[in-house]
Amino acid sequence: MAVDAGVGIVLTSPKGDRLEYMIRLHFLATNNMAVYEALIHGLKIASELGARCLYIRDDSELVVDQVMKEASCRDEKMVTYYDEVQKLKEKFDGLELHHVLRRGNLATDFLAKLASNREHTPPRVFVNNAHELLIKLAKAPTPASDAAHAEPVAEPTVGTKMGTPDLKVAMLEPSWMMPFLDYLLQDTLPVNATEARCLARSAKIFVVIEEELHKRSPSGILHKCIPTDQGRELLLEIHADICSHHAAPRSLVGKAFRQGSY
């Protein structure tokens, strides 16, 4: 199990054009988890670029055998990763995954080492930061869920004197992402003609993946869109917490972008 690992992805077109990606993983990950992370990232990028058929080479024989249904998955994480890959396979007309020796996969291995060591990014290589797994694991039961099965409290009878409850009401502000999600998923625009034109024009740089909104940067990297409250927490963490990045607002927001959030 390693922290601050990295993966490399190389996409090659039939004409020989290459796109190279480095993704820095800021969480604990085994070698097989890192391989699955690279595979899923690569499938999503290829889908966004309009690829319909993929021939994938990887040096993890276990992951290749699992994806091609030649080996079973027993670990919960591996099963969840496998299910995610199967969902993404439906976006392509053809997809083959083949095992190669590490010496036959030197380009991606080189990028993965650069990403893992947090070294300088080579020219014409896209880099991104991943701060959480691409999969969602089932959560263990919590005390709150157990409380749902507790015996119901009897309601007071008529004439019973009741005190005034101490209520704390949280006012939720509407998410800035909802208009874009409504337009991209349901083709719904605001009633106001001016607002509708602005939204349709701005939505061209956004894309929905697995019902989550992402913004496409000029370099082609996808930034995961987050609600305003999470954005404030991220900026606060960068500014004064673990990163201790005391900088001007423009630099602070730019660092958040480079961490893969928008």
Q: Do domains 5-130 and 178-258 have the same CATH topology?
A: no
Token output for 71: 């080996």
Spans of all domains in the chain: 5-130, 178-258
pTM over 0.75: no
* pLDDT value of residue 122: 85
Domain 178-258 CATH assignment equals 3.40.720: no
pLDDT, one tens digit per residue, over 236-247 is 665 554 444 444
Higher pLDDT, 164 or 2: 2
- Confirm if 47 and 84 have CB atoms less than 8 A apart: no
Percent of the chain past pLDDT 70, that is, above it, reads 73
Query: In terms of CATH, what superfamily is 5-130?
Result: Ribonuclease H-like superfamily/Ribonuclease H (3.30.420.10)
| Identity of the amino acid at 36 | Y
What pLDDT, on the 0 to 100 scale, is given for residue 192?
Answer: 84
pLDDT digits (tens, 9 = 90+) for 96-130: 999 888 888 889 989 988 888 888 888 889 988 88
**How many residues would you count in the chain?**
262
Q: How far is CA 23 from CA 73, 90, 111, 247, in A?
A: 25, 24, 9, 25
Q: Are 22 and 127 in contact (CB under 8 A)?
A: yes
Distance, in Å, from the CA atom of 31 to the CA atom of 50, rounded to the nearest integer, reads 29
**Which range is least confidently modeled, 7-21, 142-156, 208-222?**
142-156
